[in-house]
């Protein structure tokens, strides 16, 4: 399977070039999604280990520590959180019931972030999963 080119992403962050940093990505996102994603980013960084790296992958912000933790993106009519594994959706099924959930994705309104407390719980659960992975 070929990886899609980042420029093909239907993200609300319209740009002529792919961002190199999360700050560049967010600067290209229109309001109110920009403020919403800044809140999501703050919650992710508060819960993630200090060694977590913030990268741009597939044209959107992703967070890694011993593997992928979580990512996010803005689209014209919603924002999304991209979970590294669908098992996290099962763990938080009741808390996510008000959102549109697809495989490993949570969709939420551009002007209403997922509560920081829930984002932090999801990130911490993913960190625990990554810590349990066996290294070769």
pLDDT along the chain (136 residues), means of 10: 41 66 96 97 97 95 95 97 91 94 93 96 96 73
- The pLDDT value recorded for residue 18 is 84
Residue 4 lies in a domain: no
- The pLDDT value recorded for residue 7 is 40
Residue 136 lies in a domain: no
Residue 94 lies in a domain: yes
Residue 68 lies in a domain: yes
Q: How many domains does the chain have?
A: 1
Crossing angle (nearest 10°) for helices 116-132 and 33-47 = 40
Residue reference for tokens 């819960």:
47
Supply the range of the domain harboring residue 125: 9-131
Interatomic CA distance for residues 34 and 51, integer angstroms: 25
Phi, psi of 23 (to 5 degrees): -60, -40
The whole model's pTM is what? 0.85
Q: What is the CATH number of the domain that holds 97?
A: 3.90.1150.200
């Amino acid at each position: 399977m070929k990886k899609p080119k980042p420029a093909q992403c239907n993200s609300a962050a319209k740009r002529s070039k792919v961002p190199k940093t999360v700050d560049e990505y967010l600067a290209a996102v229109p309001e109110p999604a920009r403020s919403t994603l800044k809140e999501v980013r703050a919650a992710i960084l508060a819960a993630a280990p200090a060694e977590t790296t913030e990268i741009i992958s597939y044209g959107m912000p992703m967070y890694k520590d011993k593997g992928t933790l979580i990512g996010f993106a803005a689209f014209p009519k919603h924002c999304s959180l991209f979970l590294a594994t669908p098992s996290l959706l099962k763990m938080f099924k009741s808390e996510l019931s008000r959102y549109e959930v697809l495989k490993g994705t949570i969709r939420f309104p551009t002007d209403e972030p997922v509560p920081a407390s829930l984002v932090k719980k999801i990130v911490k659960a993913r960190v625990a999963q990554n810590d349990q992975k066996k290294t070769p």
